Structure 1
Amino acid sequence: MSETPITFYRLQACPFCERVTRMLDELELDYQSRFVEPMHSDRDVVKRISGKRTVPAIVDESTGVTMTESANIVDYLERTYGGSA
């Protein structure tokens, strides 16, 4: 597959973003990182996709899911791609 189904919007050195990165890597998921503007008010791309300016945010083209908040994203990734618990 040439297109990566998960796009991950993040900031450099953001601990909440790193939490999502660890889960994506642990599950061995392909994803595209998009680093966003550090200034909250300049994060128009994130606002367009999620309705919020906060990161982390993901768009999963495979399932049609767009979400923010690291705990929600990690839970979603585990439920959707983690296999057996």
Structure 2
Amino acid sequence: MAAITMYELPGCPYCAKVRSKLDDLDLEYDVIEVPRSHDERTEVEKVSGQTGVPVITDEENGVEGMSESDDIVEYLEETYGDGAA
């Protein structure tokens, strides 16, 4: 099991943006597809407090339920990309 888990909805352009960054950085990650109905997205809601996607968790860095694709991409770049210390 990878340290990073991504919650996504197939066809979601914001999810594709995050997945592209994960792939660009050659990171291992697990994907959990959420149901189309927001009412049925209980698993992602437990993790992030909301039902929107994308959401990631990163066990190695203590990140639980980060949402908003721009924030996730920025975090990934700063933590694993050229912005990493």
Does the alignment reach a TM-score above 0.5? yes
Identity of aligned residues (%): 46
Aligned ranges 1:20-35 → 2 under 5 Å? 20-35=18-33
Q: Displaced runs of 4+ in structure 1, greater than 4 A?
A: none
Does 2:57 align with 1:45? no
Mapping 1:1-85, distance limit 5 Å: 3-66=1-64, 67-84=66-83
Q: SS in structure 2 opposite 1:62?
A: helix
| Structure 2: gaps spanning 5 or more residues | none
User: Normalized against structure 1, the TM-score is what?
Assistant: 0.93
> Could you list the runs of 5+ residues in structure 1 that have no partner in the other structure?
none
- Residue deviations 1:20-63, cap 9 Å, x none? 00000000000001000111121000100011111000010010
- Output the TM-score relative to the length of structure 2: 0.93
| Partners of 2:18 and 2:36 in 1: CA distance | 18
Number of residues of Structure 1 aligned to a counterpart in Structure 2: 83
In 2, the alpha carbon distance for the partners of 1:77 and 1:58 equals 10
